Amino acid sequence: MSDAPAPLSAMTDAILAILARILRDKGANPPPLDETTVFLGGAIPFDSLDLATLLVEMERATGRDPFKEGFRMFQTVGELAQLYAA
């Protein structure tokens, strides 16, 4: 995949789709999800293992690893999408 920035909306949509699937796979009925959804400690039943799964799936889907140089803080879908879109 190219190093050109990816559209933020495409990254947000990809994250939301993976997030919803992970929640459904856990037997949860996903609440409405959007760019303000908090991953850990928020309203969704999502833990650190789920987050690791999401990051691996995003790297596979996009060919991008925004954490290659080290961890970068994020809490919401929108913040993570910005890291992948950069």
Please count the residues of the chain: 86
Angle at 11 between CA 73 and CA 80, to 5 degrees: 10
Angle at 66 between CA 85 and CA 73, to 5 degrees: 100
Q: Residue 33 in contact with residue 76, Cβ under 8 Å?
A: no
From the list 77, 71, 51, 61, the residue with the least C-alpha distance to 6 is: 61
Q: Read off the pLDDT of each residue in 41-52 and give the average, rounded to a whole number.
A: 94
Q: What is the pTM assigned to this prediction?
A: 0.88
- Please state the domain extents for the chain: 35-86
- pLDDT value at 3 more than 70: no
- Could you give the CA distance from residue 57 to residue 55 in angstroms, rounded to a whole number? 5
Report pLDDT digits (tens) over 12-24.
999 999 999 999 9
